[in-house]
Structure formats: structure tokens, C-alpha cells
Amino acid sequence: MTSSEQRDKLSFRAVETFVAVVEERSISRAAKRLGASISAVSLQLSNLEKSLDTKLVERSAQRFSVTEAGHLFRERALRILDEVNGARADLMNRSEAPHFKLRMAVVEDFDNHILPAWLASMSETFPNSRFVVKSGPSHENFSILGTRATDLIVAVDAMHPVDWIEEHVLMQDPYMLVTAENIPEAADLDTLRKSPFVRYAREQHMGRQIEAQLRRTKFVPPRKHEFSSNQALFSMVSKTGGWAISTASAIHGTLSHRNPDQLKLRYALLPLPAFSRTVSLYARKDILSSVPQQAAMLLRQCLQRTFDHADNRLKLPLLPRIISQGT
């Protein structure tokens, strides 16, 4: 094949690159998203423009803009990506299936105790697949699902339903009180008011949900310590002799493999109206065939096994409730 023929050949990678450039509005950010070099992204984009014989993106050091042709082609490009990914997903269960990369993003709570078992089950069900997994807060996971930088996410109910997302509910995760040992058992709000409150960072969905519940009960402690990490939050509670509100899965996932005596924490029902978060698996609707439904079923099974055999050393008053498929 001559260099001219190679240049004129429209490739899936070039289409994927174009979509990333348009959505990131930057060659360098698109390269980071794709795990490619800036020069490779520029070359893919240039070859695509030559294949289509039109300018798709105006790019210079001072300006980035998508041309009218670029806007028109983007709609087709998105459909191309979805059709190819859908075709790959349809083949995943076949013995002669090509290797398929499934990109996933999960909440931090699942890293230690859920993720390894889930990936093992996924590998058995989809033997020709390989998994690329990152962990992060729910709002970031929803963002990269929207830009097609990931295929499946596990996240909390951080957004209103939209028509391009399919949701598979996994569990209800109850919030509970976490206190240092110096705080009396069955502490009420008056007792807690005298001790420092350690918060989740306000950009996290957990943090916003907890603050909303506190406002509803007209009990809003002074703002002082904030953390994005479960481990840091629990350590700070122990260090300051304070308290926090967290969930059963966050506590179990972060602390079940540690010696409980290291942090000397207590866990109790909340001295305010009970509330919980919903954890679900999300995917772009009708793109990955039955893969999201199968992945959710396997994840529910892993969650059920994990919490059925939860280590009682933590003495958690509540455990998450797994939501059966179809309920």
C-alpha cells in the first residue's frame, strides 16, 4: 500500500482521535486521554482531514475551533464509535471473539475488597477481554463516561436521570456515625457538638449529601477539617478525638483489612434521621449490548458475598443492602 493510499484510508483510530480532540478542545489533552503522543494525535487528525478532503478543526497557538464540517462529522463519528463498540460487545461471549478492552471507573470504596473479586468474575465471563480500571469520585466518573473515555462506571446517585445513560442499581449503602473512643457511646447531637466534626470534601457527592441531611436537621457543625480520602478522614477522627459521618461500605472497604485497635473508632446509628446513598453501575445506553447488565449481576454477587462474610471486628450496626436485579 502506497503512502497516499494509507493516508486516504479512514481508520477507526482516526475517528476516535477526532472525537477526543473535539471534546477536550485540545490536542495535548486529547493525547493524554488517549494515552498517545501529541505528534501521533496531530498526525491522525491530519490524515482524517485528508481522507475526508475537508478541514475539521482550526487549530493554532492562539485559537481552537471546530469547523462547520467538523460539527457535522462529529455526529457521524459518535455513531461510528458506538457501533464499533457495540459490535465488539456482541462478540465478547463468543469463543472466537477478538480481544476487547473494557474501560471502567469505580468509586474508591471498592478498590480493596470488591474490585479484585469482581474482575476475576468478569475475566471468567468475558475471557477475551482485558480491563483498564481507574478509581475516582463519582462526579469524575460521570464526566469521563460522558466523554467516552470510559465504558462502565460504578458511582453513587450523583446526577439526574438522562436519556443516554442506562443504570443498574447495585445497593443501598446506609450512613452511620463514626466516633473516636473518647466520645461516649450512643452520643446525641448535644454531645457531638462539643467535639470536632471531620467532613468529606464538598466537591464529593458524599460530602454534599451529608451536608444536606445536616441542614435538614438544623445541625450544621463548624467547617474545619475536610478530606477526599476515606483513610485520611478516619485517621483524622481518631487523631482529633472527633467524629464523622460515613457509609457502611466506605468503612468496611477501608478498614476491614486493618487492625481495628490502630484507630480506636466506634460505629453507631446516627442520632438524626436515617439516610443512605444508592450505588449503581452506569453505561451509555444501548451501546454495549448485554455487557452492563451482566457486569452488574456479577458485581451484585461479589457485593453479597463480601457483606455476607463481613468481618465482625468492626462491629458495624448496619451493612449495605444489595438490590436484586429488577427490583
Please give the distance of CA 286 from its chain centroid, rounded to a whole number: 19
CATH topology assigned to domain 98-171+279-311: D-Maltodextrin-Binding Protein; domain 2 (3.40.190)
Tell me the per-residue pLDDT of 219-234, one tens digit each, with 9 for 90 and over: 989 888 899 889 999 9
CB 209 within 8 A of CB 277: yes
To the question of domain 3-89 being in CATH 1.10.287.110, the answer is no
Bridge pairing between strands 225-227 and 198-200: parallel
CATH 1.10.10.10 boundaries in the chain = 3-89
CATH 3.40.190.10 boundaries in the chain = 98-171+279-311, 173-276
CA-to-CA distance for 77 and 139, rounded, in angstroms? Answer: 26
CA-to-CA distance for 18 and 90, rounded, in angstroms? Answer: 25
To the question of domain 173-276 being in CATH 3.40.50.300, the answer is no
Residue 97: per-residue pLDDT: 56
Bridge pairing between strands 100-106 and 129-135: parallel
Nearest one of 187, 174, 172, 175 to 266, comparing CA atoms: 187
Tell me the per-residue pLDDT of 126-151, one tens digit each, with 9 for 90 and over: 888 888 898 888 888 888 888 788 89
What's the half-sphere exposure (Cβ side, CA atoms, 13 Å) at 67? Answer: 11
Residue 266: per-residue pLDDT: 93
Residues of the chain scoring pLDDT < 70:
1-8, 61, 90-98, 158-161, 259-262, 311, 326-327
Residue 65 CB contacts under 8 Å (≥ 6 apart), including other chains: 57, 58
| Length reported for the chain | 327
CA-to-CA distance for 35 and 242, rounded, in angstroms? Answer: 43
Residue 1: per-residue pLDDT: 44
CA-to-CA distance for 297 and 325, rounded, in angstroms? Answer: 7
